[in-house]
Amino acid sequence: MIPHRSGLSVPRGAVAAVIGLAVVTAVAAILRGGMELRHVPEILPLVAFYALVIAIGEYYRFRFEDSRDLAPMSLAAALALVLLSRSGTHDLVGLQPSPLLAAVALGLTLGALPRLLLGQDVRVDEVSARFLGVTVTAVVYRKLPLWDGQTLLQVDAGWHGDRWPMAILLSLAAAAGLAAFLFLTALTRAARLHQGLRQAVADELRAGAGLGLALSSSGTLVALAARPLGLAALPLFLIPLVLTQFALRQYAAIRRTYAQTVRVLSRLTELGGFTRPGHPDRVCQLSIELGRDLSVPERELRYLEHAALLHDLGQVALRSPIPAGATVMAAPADQRRIAEAGAQIVREAGVAAEVGDAVAAQATPYRVVREFDEELPLLARILKVANAYDDFVGGSITARRREAAMERIHLGLGYEYDPRVVDSLQRVLERRHTHRH
């Protein structure tokens, strides 16, 4: 069964709210932190060094899966800074969070600024989420009286036993910040991509839980090791994270190559004159929007993207092209033949099995679910509606063609097309119309 839209629908103003909160917090921290550092100038080199490492980590962030920016070195260094109680001979127990957060804000800004000047894309909302996550860790560790009227920082400073209980407390404080960061990232992504908040949070947890644990551990280790090692603790314990970042970059490059291969394969039908120019891309974009509206998990969205790009590949096996490549106009037997041929090509090309299943089932009418209680992949139901809409519209953006396409789709409601997917299509088209105006 296709699920209802899960989770709260997040207004786009949530992105501006997160950015605004981060800016206000950063400005307040910089103003107050500057005044506090005047009284303890010996801390300034320490704070400046951490800010420099944060800036370097932010500059060398990278995009993962085309939709998520990762800056593990920057976030780990920022968490370590706000968790410091002592660094060598420097005592930071009496230091308020503001100068430390000021250093974090300056580091993030200095790391993002060169990218902006070079014209590169910078996700300000994700940078803001990182800063606010670190702010939560700083407040939990340095301000809240969570242990018998004392802050965790005060407990850490007065602890004389084994260090492992303090390591747990520091890890919990770091985990609180990471949880806030993941939630805020999910909030802004849900608003930006028109996705249900519950599914966005689930996607962030699934994608970021492993790396989050590594960041939490790295930040905690640096803060603990800074007592005897001083500034040397930061580069020493960030080296494993740098190697992890290098591996993630390589993995991301492989994923990009894989996606480019799928896109090149999808061009065969256009180059051969089997489909209208841009048809695979339009169906792909619409399918993704429908998937997000229906709260399809992020992993399955990638399968849906590839299935949409390759859904007409079976047409290359036809003796003569279908007029305008509109498979929705073909006879049901021809539609099934195209779907099966396309699925066979996709599977032989080594694409994920879920993609082949969606391509194979795209010609199956929805009535098999309603009348015979058969299983039909959700991705195939979405793909069928998206393909039919673009075939009916023919790439036109006129209101008359859109309305005519929706009327024809409604004629097959419950028989050819899943009513919930069609309802989703109506919402997506309304959003598109609103944004254009």
> Would you state the pLDDT for residue 304?
94
> Would you state the pLDDT for residue 1?
38
Tens digit of pLDDT for each residue in 253-277? 888 888 888 888 888 888 877 888 8
pLDDT at 4 over 50: no
pLDDT at 3 over 50: no
pLDDT at 218 over 70: yes
Question: For residues 66 and 213, which has the higher predicted lDDT (pLDDT)?
Answer: 213
> Would you state the pLDDT for residue 66?
59
User: pLDDT band at 50, cuts 50/70/90?
Assistant: very high
Tens digit of pLDDT for each residue in 340-375? 998 998 888 888 889 999 999 998 999 888 777 788
Tens digit of pLDDT for each residue in 263-312? 888 888 888 778 888 889 999 999 999 999 998 998 899 999 999 999 88
Task: Write the CA distances from 305 to 256, 321, 358, integer angstroms.
Answer: 13, 24, 11
Say which residues have a Cβ less than 8 Å from residue 174's Cβ, sequence separation at least 6. Answer: 79, 83, 137, 215, 216, 219, 220
